């Protein structure tokens, strides 16, 4: 990769750059707001990791290091656009106005994704790698057939997902039907313990040309570049120019999930290199140096983050456990013979504890 291939508007040192194809004036963007978003979602993330460590959550997929990719692209969405996440898009969820408590509910295992995707314009988390690219493409083709030219779709997936057939199928369908969908690949360089080299022989953004649509690589730790590039891609999709691929080049700073131990497969120096490219720190440096924010602003955001952390913790601990049998209520819309039999069996099992006061 040459530097000219990487779209960047804010360097790791906090230096502001211009890009001929992605003009973005500071007045067009609420940079203090982006700083606030990134700081708060990072706090949600660290709080959730602590909650998992204390046995309050079953698992958590950390977004650490990917805040700029998610907030930059998430804030580029227009209200009518539809987003399809994978499972670590907590920053995009934030931009869609989803309370972090909803994500906590899911990872605590007390709800089956407790939000309405249509209302939030944010689809359910998808664990099956790459599946959501097909859902998004189908949705985009639906928009197209409805004649809605003020809506676009964005779909998030990882570098590892590009090894799935579903993603290639989605690329091809989107291209052939000129579907209004932006493929947003957060290349965090790891698919659990498999490195990038095990996923691809070409830079991922170059895959797009083989399917017949444009692909770009953006500095995924640069919130301004992610914002500018995504805004333009969504606009092109709405205008009927079809799909595009954005490869946000970033790094998964934490473990794959709280059940993973990355020290078993990657070297510490790699992490140290990426720490210097932190997505939040460069915005802080630029805001302070350009006089757009003073220490009072940063202190206020920090205090707000503490309050949010406390709020989530309290909400998490207060979440009621669902009745065990309610699990069966959400599998099918109607009754189903096999499921009914399983329900009966489980009810009988629970009843065997009745003397000890177990609830159904
Ligand atoms: C179809 C499928 N195969 C395997 C898995 C197990 N799995 C969960 S996460 C993951 C790695 C995904 O890596 P990537 O797409 O880079 O996303 P990241 O976790 O880095 O955000 C795998 C293989 C799965 N969830 N679905
Ligand atoms: Mg990955």
The pLDDT tens digits of the residues spanning 55-65 come to 999 999 999 99
Residue among 84, 92, 160 to mutate when testing ligand 1 (max atoms within 8 A of CB): 160
Mean pLDDT of the chain: 95
pLDDT attached to residue 330: 82
Bigger pLDDT: 3 or 212? 212
Q: Is 188 in the pocket of ligand 1 (CB under 6 A)?
A: yes
Q: Is 80 in the pocket of ligand 1 (CB under 6 A)?
A: no
Distance 13 CA to ligand 1 centre (A): 32
User: Relative to the alpha carbon of 61, which ligand is closest?
Assistant: 1
Instruction: Report, as an integer, the average pLDDT of 163-190.
Output: 98
- Asked whether residue 105 carries a pLDDT value surpassing 70, the answer given is yes
Q: How confident is the model at residue 1 (pLDDT cuts 50, 70, 90)?
A: very low
User: Relative to the alpha carbon of 188, which ligand is closest?
Assistant: 2
pLDDT attached to residue 58: 97
- Asked whether residue 114 carries a pLDDT value surpassing 90, the answer given is no
The pLDDT tens digits of the residues spanning 295-312 come to 999 999 999 999 999 999
Instruction: Report, as an integer, the average pLDDT of 346-358.
Output: 80
User: How distant, in Å, are the alpha carbons of 4, 206, 264, 318, 354 from that of 324?
Assistant: 56, 48, 37, 18, 13
Q: Which domains, from first to last, does the chain contain?
A: 3-318 (3.40.50.970), 324-356 (no CATH)
The pLDDT tens digits of the residues spanning 204-235 come to 999 999 999 999 999 999 999 999 999 999 99
Distance CA 91, CA 65 (A): 11
39, containing H or E segment: helix 31-53
Distance 248 CA to ligand 1 centre (A): 17
The residue whose two tokens read 């992605």 is 22
């Amino acid at each position: 990769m040459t530097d000219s291939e990487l779209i960047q508007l804010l360097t790791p040192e906090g230096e502001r750059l211009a890009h001929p194809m992605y003009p973005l004036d500071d007045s067009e963007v609420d940079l203090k707001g982006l700083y606030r978003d990134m700081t708060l979602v990072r706090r949600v993330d660290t709080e959730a990791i602590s909650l998992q460590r204390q046995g309050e959550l079953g698992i958590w997929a950390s977004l650490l290091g990917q805040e700029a990719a998610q907030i930059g692209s998430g804030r580029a969405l227009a209200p009518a656009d539809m987003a399809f996440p994978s499972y670590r898009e907590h920053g995009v969820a934030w931009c869609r106005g989803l309370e972090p408590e909803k994500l906590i509910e899911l990872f605590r295992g007390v709800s089956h994704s407790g939000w309405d995707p249509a209302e939030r314009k944010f689809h359910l988390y998808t664990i099956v790698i790459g599946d959501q690219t097909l859902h998004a493409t189908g949705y985009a083709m639906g928009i197209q057939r409805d004649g809605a030219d003020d809506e676009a779709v964005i779909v998030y997936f990882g570098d590892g997902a590009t090894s799935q057939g579903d993603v290639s199928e989605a690329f091809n369908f989107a291209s052939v039907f000129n579907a209004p969908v932006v493929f947003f690949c957060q290349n965090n360089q790891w698919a659990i313990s498999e490195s990038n080299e095990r996923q691809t022989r070409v830079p991922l953004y170059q895959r797009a040309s083989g399917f017949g649509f444009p692909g770009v690589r953006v500095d995924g730790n640069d919130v301004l570049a992610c914002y500018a590039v995504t805004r333009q891609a969504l606009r092109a999709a709405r205008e009927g120019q079809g799909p595009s691929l954005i490869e946000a080049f970033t790094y998964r700073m934490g473990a794959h999930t709280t059940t993973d131990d990355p020290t078993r497969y990657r070297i510490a120096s790699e992490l140290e290199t990426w720490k210097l490219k932190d997505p939040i720190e460069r915005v802080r440096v630029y805001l302070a140096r350009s006089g757009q924010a003073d220490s009072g602003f940063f202190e206020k955001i920090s205090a707000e983050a503490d309050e949010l952390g406390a709020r989530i913790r309290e909400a998490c601990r207060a979440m009621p456990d669902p009745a065990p049998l309610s699990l069966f209520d959400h599998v099918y819309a109607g009754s189903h013979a096999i499921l009914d039999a399983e329900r009966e069996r489980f009810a009988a099992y629970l009843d065997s504890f009745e003397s000890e006061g177990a609830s159904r």
